[in-house]
Amino acid sequence: MPVVVQLLQSVVVVVFAPLYVGVLARAEAVVASKRGPSIVQPYRDLAKLLRKGSTISDQASWVFRGAPFVIFACYLTVSAIVPIITSVPLPLAFLADLIGGAFVLTLAAFASALAAMDTASPQGDLGASRATWVGSLVEPALILVFFTVGVLSASDNPYLMNHAVRSSPYALVLPAHLLGTLAFFMIVLIENGRIPVENPSGSIEISMIEEGRSIEYSGRLYALMRWGSWMKFFLMSSIFVNVFVVPWGLGGSEHSLGGALLAIPVLLGKLALCGLVIVVIDTSFAKLRFFRIAEFTGAAFLVALIGVVSSYVVSV
């Protein structure tokens, strides 16, 4: 049964990631008094792209062709090591902790940057350069965020973090946890190209960061790149709600299939609340100028640092 739950958890990420993005896109359009696309539009886009062939530059090598598969595999690996629908470690959870999962996400970003530069396209090089610069600013803040939660569990294992926050009556209101939660939410916005860092609905090539790395892709390879980016957004949002904000509602301790299935609608409900906050931010703020992004990432780092320092002053 644990193996079945393990497979189910990865399937949930693969299947529902496009729906999560579709619901957010529709909600943003409704808030802006527009009709907007259907919530299943991402599935239609994937189906259309998967039926098409890929146009590849004559300058591209095997790196460009293999990167989408590596990126998709990285996000699929992360789905096996973090609590999505169960609070008990699954058979593959031993592969890495949260810091190890961050390294896997970094590997996906590295593969994406290499692929963008492999075509010798100026737009791809620009997107890779910008995304790498932003990533170098985010990673120190991300590690500090894990330390803020690790103070409670004395571990950086996401399942132990979930258990520690869920079982402690005061954990959710500790300054270290509150500041770590805020910093991680800011990182979710940064890493997934949301406002105020980037406009996810923008189509101006010169201002793209997240999408700039995949601008040279088309057809099936582009479908994998898009699908992978949606999985990343779904995974980071799931970690945010399941470890930091609402650690309850996951599957029981017996790895029962019934408990895991019941946890799916609970997860979608928690993600709906998280998505609502993101929609409010996307529709209430303007995108920052590029060189001011460093201020936003610096603020995330500073908030996480204050959270770590506060853990030495206030504890459970």
Lowest mean pLDDT among 13-17, 78-82, 155-159, 312-316: 312-316
User: Running DSSP on this structure, what letter comes out for residue 285?
Assistant: S
**How far, CA to CA in Å, does 240 sit from each of 70, 141, 267, 289?**
24, 15, 11, 26
Residue 253 has pLDDT above 70, yes or no: no
State whether residue 60 is helix, strand or coil: coil
The confidence band for 254, taking pLDDT boundaries of 50, 70 and 90, is low
The confidence band for 32, taking pLDDT boundaries of 50, 70 and 90, is confident
Q: What pLDDT, on the 0 to 100 scale, is given for residue 120?
A: 80
Residue 315 has pLDDT above 80, yes or no: no
Q: What pLDDT, on the 0 to 100 scale, is given for residue 199?
A: 74
**How far, CA to CA in Å, does 189 sit from each of 1, 183, 219, 234?**
35, 10, 27, 12
Long-range CB contacts for residues 138-143, cutoff 8 Å, separation at least 24: 138/187, 138/190, 138/191, 138/297, 138/300, 139/102, 139/106, 140/301, 141/183, 141/186, 141/187, 141/297, 141/300, 141/301, 141/304, 142/102, 142/184, 142/187, 143/99, 143/102
**CB–CB of 67/128 below 8 Å?**
no
Q: Which residues contact 127 (CB under 8 A, 6 or more apart)?
A: 116, 208, 209, 210, 211, 212, 213, 214, 215
The confidence band for 123, taking pLDDT boundaries of 50, 70 and 90, is confident
State whether residue 251 is helix, strand or coil: strand
End-to-end CA distance of the chain: 36
Average pLDDT over residues 298-311: 90
Lowest mean pLDDT among 138-142, 235-239, 311-315: 311-315
Of 3 and 153, the structure prediction assigns the larger pLDDT to 3
What is the distance between the alpha carbons of residues 310 and 147, in angstroms, rounded to a whole number? 12
The confidence band for 24, taking pLDDT boundaries of 50, 70 and 90, is very high
Residue 4 has pLDDT above 80, yes or no: yes
What is the distance between the alpha carbons of residues 23 and 9, in angstroms, rounded to a whole number? 20
Lowest mean pLDDT among 41-45, 196-200, 254-258, 268-272: 254-258
State whether residue 54 is helix, strand or coil: coil
Average pLDDT over residues 136-150: 86
Q: What angle do CA 309, 313, 316 make, to 5 degrees?
A: 110
Average pLDDT over residues 19-48: 92
Q: What pLDDT, on the 0 to 100 scale, is given for residue 284?
A: 86
Return the closest-CA partner of residue 191 out of 75, 86, 19, 93: 75
